[in-house]
Structure 1
Amino acid sequence: MKFQYYIPTKVLFGCGQLSKLHKQKLPGKKALIVISSGTSVKKFGYLAKVQEQLDKAGVEYAVFDKILPNPIQSHVMEGAAFAKQEGCDFVIGLGGGSIIDSAKAIAVMATNEGDFWDYIFGGTGGKNMPKNDPLPIVAITTTAGTGTEADPWAVITHQDRNEKIGFGYDKSFPVLSIVDPELMVSVPEKLTAYQGFDALFHSTEGYLNKNMSPINDMYTLKAIELIGKYLPIAVKDGQNLEARENVALANTLSGMSESISGCISEHAMEHPLSGHNPKLEHGAGLIMICQAYYAYWAHRGVVDQRMIDMAKALGRRDATKPEDFVTALHELMVACGVDDLKMSDYGIQEGDLEMYTKAAYETMGGLFTVDPAPMPFEDCFKIYQESYK
Structure 2
Amino acid sequence: MFFNYYIPTKILFGKGQLSNLHKEKLPGKKALIVISSGNSIKKYGYLDKLLDQLTKANVASVLYDKILPNPIKEHVMEGAAIAKENACDFVIGLGGGSSIDTAKAIAVMATNEGDYWDYISGGTGKGLPVPFAPLPIVAITTTAGTGTEADPWTVITKSDTNEKIGFGYEKTFPVLSVVDPELMMTVPAHLTAYQGFDALFHSTEGYINKTAYVLSDLYALKAIELIGKSLAEAVNNGGNSEARAHVALANTLAGMVESTSGCTSEHSLEHALSAYHPELPHGAGLIMISKAYYTYIANSGTCDERMIDMAKALGKTDATCPMDFVTALVDLQKACHVDELKMSDYGITYDEMDKLATNAREAMGGLFEVDPVPISHEACITILEASYK
Tell me the TM-score normalized by structure 2: 1.00
Q: How far apart are the structure 1 equivalents of 2:62 and 2:71? A: 20
Aligned AA (1:39)? N
Give yes or no for contact 2:145–2:251 (8 Å, CA) kept in 1: yes
Measured against aligned partners, the alpha-carbon deviations of 1:188-221 in whole angstroms (never above 9, x if no partner) come to 0000000000000000000000011111111000
Supply the AA of the counterpart residue of 1:256. M
Other structure's SS at 1:160 match: helix
Task: Give, in angstroms, the shift of residue 373 of structure 1.
Answer: 2.1
Show the counterpart of 1:322. 322
> 3-state DSSP class of the match of 1:61?
strand
Alignment-derived partner of residue 343 in structure 1: 343
State the Cα deviation string for residues 3-24 of structure 1 (Å, max 9, x = none): 2211000000000000000000
Partner residue of 1:147?
147
Q: Residue deviations 1:145-176, cap 9 Å, x none?
A: 00000000000001111110001000000000
Match for residue 373 of structure 2? Answer: 373
Q: Is the 8 A contact 2:200 2:254 kept in 1?
A: yes
Letter in 1 for 2:10: K
Report what 2:173 is aligned to: 173
Aligned residue identity for 1:43:
K
Q: Share of identical aligned residues, percent?
A: 69
Q: Which amino acid aligns with 1:307?
A: M
* Structure 1 residue 358 corresponds to structure 2 residue 358: yes
Q: Deviations over 1:300-324 (max 9, x none)?
A: 0000000000000000000000000
- Matches of 1:241 and 1:233, distance apart in 2: 10
Distance 1:70 1:12 in 2: 26
- Name structure 1 gaps, 5 residues minimum: none
C-alpha distance in 1 between matches for 2:159 and 2:269:
18
Structure 2 matches for 1:178-189, cutoff 5 A? Answer: 178-189=178-189
Deviations 1:34-71 (A, max 9, x none): 00011101000000000000000000000000100000
Q: Is the 8 A contact 1:2 1:213 kept in 2?
A: no
Give how far 1:348 is off: 0.3
1:309 aligns with 2:316: no
Tell me the secondary structure at the aligned position of residue 166 of structure 1. strand
CA contact (8 A) 2:289 2:383 kept: yes
* Whole-Å separation in 1 of the counterparts to 2:30 and 2:355: 45
Output one character per residue of 1:370-389: Cα deviation in whole Å (capped at 9) or x when no partner. 01122111111110111111
Give the partner amino acid of 2:364.
Answer: M
Q: Which moved more, 1:328-337 or 1:368-377?
A: 368-377
SS in 2 for 1:294: helix
Output the aligned Cα RMSD.
Answer: 0.5
1:67 corresponding residue in structure 2: 67
Matches within 5 A, 1:230-309: 230-309=230-309
Q: CA–CA distance in 2 between the matches of 1:359 and 1:3?
A: 32
**Mapping for residues 1-150 of structure 1, pairs under 5 Å:** 1-150=1-150
Q: Write the deviation string for residues 119-156 of structure 1: whole angstroms up to 9, x where unpaired.
A: 11010011111100000000000000000000000000
- AA aligned opposite 1:10: K
State the distance in 2 between where 1:161 and 1:379 align. 24
Q: Is the 8 A contact 2:297 2:373 kept in 1?
A: no
How far apart in 1 are the matches of 2:380 and 2:69?
A: 26
Q: For 2:129 and 2:179, how far apart are their aligned partners in 1? A: 30
Distance 1:160 1:76 in 2: 15
Aligned-partner SS, 2:312: helix
Detail structure 1 runs of 4+ shifted over 6 Å in the superposition: none
Q: Alignment partner of 1:232: what SS?
A: helix
Q: Is residue 2:220 matched to residue 1:200?
A: no
- Residue by residue, what CA displacement relative to the aligned partner does 1:86-145 show, whole Å, maximum 9, x if unpaired? 110000000000000000000000000000011110100111111000000000000000
SS of the equivalent of 1:271 reads helix
Rounded Cα–Cα distance in structure 2 between residues aligned with 1:222 and 1:304? 19
Letter paired with 1:109: M
What are the Cα deviations for residues 169-189 of structure 1, in whole angstroms up to 9, with x where unaligned?
A: 000000000000000001000
> Equivalents in 2 of 1:102, 1:239: separation in Å?
29
Aligned length: 389
Amino acid at match of 1:184: M
Q: Give the whole-Å Cα distance in 1 for the aligned partners of 2:377 and 2:58.
A: 55
SS at match of 2:250: helix
